[in-house]
Amino acid sequence: MDMPSTSSGDITALAASCFPLARIAVTGIAQDVVKLVPADPRRKAEALAVLLQEGALFQDGILEMLHELICALDDEIARSSRVVECYDHSPENVSDNTSWQELQTTRKADRLNDALATILELYASLMAVRDLLRAEQALKTLRAC
């Protein structure tokens, strides 16, 4: 099995790619999240947006704040969506299934889902940087022995 090879340049490039994602996430938070979520998640999202805008992507607590926002958005999207049972008993329906379920989302859920996609990508990228840095530190410790 070939093991992936990373260098400090790879980590730097990955970390640098987080900054444009953060700018997009800030826009999504400002345009969609703040307007569409309840008061408590709104305050936390606004605080997170300020930190991201300042470039504090790698500050302690950012990953936890992102995780909290992701959970709040998931909950709000679920509340703004519903499952509808559809039926087709017509003679033209030759399938074995005469009913099925469809997920219907509101415009609110669609907007929150758009913001969530970018926030998830930022979260994944920040986690990748953190994991690579931890791996490098672990290897340094092993090599020192």
Say what the pLDDT of residue 11 is. 87
State pLDDT tens for residues 6-61.
566 788 999 999 999 999 999 999 999 999 999 999 999 999 999 999 999 999 99
pTM for the whole thing? Answer: 0.80
Contact indicator for 46, 29 with CB cutoff of 8 Å: yes
CA neighbor of 126 nearest in space, from 32, 14, 30, 48: 14
Q: Which two tokens stand for residue 107?
A: 């415009």
Average the pLDDT over each of 24-28, 37-41, 72-76, 135-139 and give the range with the smallest value.
Answer: 135-139
What is the residue extent of each domain of the chain? 8-144
CB 53 within 8 A of CB 26: yes
Q: Which residue has the tokens 């340094």?
A: 140
Q: Can you spell out the DSSP letters for 46-71?
A: HHHHHHHHTT-TTSTTHHHHHHHHHH
Helix and strand element counts for the chain (H, E):
5, 2
